[in-house]
Structure formats: C-alpha cells, structure tokens
Amino acid sequence: MAFERETLQSLLDRTYSNYMSLLKPLDKTPRYNLMKVLAYTEGGDVHQLLGDLSFLSGQIFPDTASGEYLRAHWSDRVPPLYASAATGKAIQSGVPGSSVPKGLVYSSESGKRYYTSRSYTIGETGSAEVWVTAEESGTESNLDAGSRLSVVSALTAGLDSSAKVSESGIAGGVDSETDEEYLARVQTALRNTTRYGKPGDFSAWAADSSSEVTKAFEIPNFGVFGSLLIQCIHGNQIDGIEQVHDLAKIQSYIEQYAPCVIFTVATPELVEIKPSIHLFEGEDTVSNRNLVLQRLKVYLNAKAEPGCTITQATLQSAITDGVTISKAMLSLPGGEVSTTVLQYPVLGEVSWS
C-alpha cells in the first residue's frame, strides 16, 4: 500500500455517492435515519484517514517500513544493491580469419540472450574465445560450462551458427536484493555507525559492495604476510550456496573505505557433507525425512564457516528432538568433515538406510 492523496473532486464525488446510496432520495417511499447515514459516511472517511496515518507512521522506522519507503529513507546512508548481468566466455568456431562482429547476439536453450561487446577474429585453430554479456540481469542468465548457444542475429560469413560456453561458464548474474536483505544491511549500519577497520567492518563492506555477496567471513593472519582474508558466499544453506564471481569489484569497493591494511577477497571452495541417516521404525516417514533435511540446513546456516569442523555427533543432536524424531543414527565418513579457511561446508546428498 502506498499513500496517495485523492483530488478534491474525487473526494466530493465519493462522499456524494455515499450519501445517495444510503439516503436513497429517489425511492418512492424513502425510509432512513438521517443521523445514522451521517455517522456511516463520516465514519468511513475518518477510517480512511486513520488507515493512511497508520501506514505512514509505520514508514518512520526501518523494521516496519515498506520497501519503497525503506529505500527512500536510507539510500543516502546504505545504497541499495540492484541486479547485475552475467558475463563469461563462449567458444565460437568458424573459418580461420573470419570476423566475430561486435554486437553478435546469442540465445541459450532457455531463451536468454547474450551479446558481444567487441569484435574478435577466428584463430588458426578454427575457434575463438569471445566475451559475452547477458541482455537481462539476474541469476537466470547464468550458464554452466558446455551449454549451447545459438546465433540469433545476422550471421557473418565463415562463422558457425552455434557456440558453446567455455569452462569458466557464464556467471555473475544476480538478482537485486530483497526488502529483507536490504533491511538487514540497514540494521547493521544502524548498530555499527562507525567503520574504521575493526572486526566485522570488512565483512560489512563486502556485503555492501554487491548483491552477489550474501555473507562474508573475516579470517585474520592469512598467508605468509599475515594478511586479512575475506571469504564471500552467495545464498544460504536453506536455499543453496554459490560461489561469488566478481571478486575484483568487491576488492575495489572495500579499498575505497578500508584503512591501509593488506587484505584479500576470495570465495571458498564448497565442500559437500554427505551424511548417512537411519530413522527408526515408525518415524521413517516422508515428512520426517523432510524435517531432518530442514534441520540440517538450519544448523549449517547458523554454524558453518570457512575452517570449521562439522562432526556427526553435532549433526545427530541437531536432527533429534525426543518427540517427533526421538532417535536417529547419523554417520559421516571419518566421523567428521573438516574444512580449511579456503573451504566452506554445504549439505550434499543424504543417503537413507
């Protein structure tokens, strides 16, 4: 709901219609209570005004403001993060010496379009790596390595009508942050009004740099020079974790605000946790299996970080409650999963027995 003031004429027409519908002066035998009609009409108008005032009073505070008003009030202190387009390399084949023109348009099997921003020349091997950018922003334009692309613009002589995505894939496309994600950053800024490089400041700067960064971890004393390592991830354990691709953008953003500190921005290798779970007779149902998966994801979302150790004992205690799931047997290869500061644990395939 957005507040919008009605014109005077609109208010007059609406009030007149209210009176006419309640008084019914054109009826042959009109029967009405004049005071009741007046009360109904004026009460409706006051109710409308109080509703508008209630809505506007909620826009004063960040945690009750709607997305439009939240950004209007706080964008000068916490700039909103918007969607970005995916980029990557495609392998275009053709006759050696043929030209791949600027603005050549490709289409994926899902219908997403990509274009080249400069011209290329097919090499002696009969192919060339060309940089392409997604026409639309968002995660749906990301493509895995080996995906097929078709040329949909005018085809230049000597070029094949299709290409494939290179080994690095087409990545970096992210959706704009949600109202909840923006509110979380606003609340972080309100709780931490001064940033000068203290613990937590670098991860906050990383989250402010790009909508691709959902969460960042600070690892001090990394490497031979004892620099600060900032590990960035996209997503969460419940909906899915992805690596971050545009690390140069994040590095550049932090350098604008951070003091003279040696730091490195990276994205961790994702290490899958593959537990084997046995639910006892009477409790091994589809709903309970889904509940177990949900509890594992919630636990990892709260506890997982680069360089942590996840043991089968902690996971087993996380999925049992003594009521719905009274007992369960959970095992991990080796009894635990240990990660380095360059790795981040995520839930992989779960086997049931």
**Token couple for 259:** 């003091």
Alpha-carbon separation of residue 329 from 16, 249, 319 (angstroms):
72, 45, 10
331 confidence band (pLDDT: 50, 70, 90): very high
251 confidence band (pLDDT: 50, 70, 90): very high
**What is the average pLDDT value for the chain, to the nearest integer?**
89
pLDDT of residue 319: 94
What is the rounded CA–CA span in Å between residue 254 and residue 249?
A: 9
Query: pLDDT per residue over 70-82, tens digit each?
Result: 998 888 889 899 8
pLDDT of residue 18: 77
Contact between 270 and 347 under an 8 Å Cβ cutoff? The reply is no
Strand ranges, E, within the chain: 85-94, 99-100, 105-108, 113-116, 120-121, 127-137, 148-151, 159-171, 215-222, 227-236, 240-243, 263-266, 269-273, 276-279, 309-311, 328-331, 336-338, 343-347, 351-352
Radius of gyration of the chain, Cα coordinates, nearest whole angstrom: 29
pTM here? 0.72
**Residue 174 pLDDT > 60, yes or no?**
yes
Write the CB contacts of 183 (distance below 8 Å, at least 6 apart in sequence). 62, 63, 70
User: Residue 329, Cα to own-chain centre: how many angstroms?
Assistant: 34
Phi and psi, residue 188, nearest 5°: -65, -40
Among 229, 245, 253, CA closest to 305? 229
202 confidence band (pLDDT: 50, 70, 90): very high
Phi and psi, residue 109, nearest 5°: -65, -25
**Residue 1 pLDDT > 60, yes or no?**
no
pLDDT of residue 255: 94
What is the rounded CA–CA span in Å between residue 48 and residue 266?
A: 53
| CA torsion through residues 329, 331, 336, 342, sign | negative
The CATH number of domain 85-171, selected from 3.10.450, 2.40.30, 3.40.30, 3.40.50: 2.40.30
Share of the chain above pLDDT 90, in %: 61
Among 30, 7, 10, 6, CA closest to 20? 30
Quick one: angle between helices 247-257 and 201-209, nearest 10?
Answer: 130
Give the DSSP per-residue string, 267-331. -PEEEEE--EEEEPTTT--HHHHHHHHHHHHHHHHHH--TT-EEEHHHHHHHH--SSSS--EEEE
Query: pLDDT per residue over 33-71, tens digit each?
Result: 676 767 777 777 888 888 888 888 888 888 889 888 899
Residue 111: CB atoms within 10 Å: 8
**Token couple for 118:** 């400069």
Mean pLDDT of 319-329: 90
Query: pLDDT per residue over 310-319, tens digit each?
Result: 999 999 999 9
Domain definitions of the chain by residue range: 8-74, 85-171, 194-267, 271-352
Contact between 331 and 319 under an 8 Å Cβ cutoff? The reply is no
**Residue 107 pLDDT > 90, yes or no?**
yes
Q: Are strands 309-311 and 120-121 parallel, antiparallel or unpaired?
A: unpaired
Burial of 352 (0-12, 13-18, 19+ CB in 10 A): exposed
Query: Which one-letter DSSP state was computed for residue 176?
Result: P
**More confident of the two residues 43 and 279:** 279
CA dihedral in degrees (272, 273, 274, 279; nearest 10)? -150
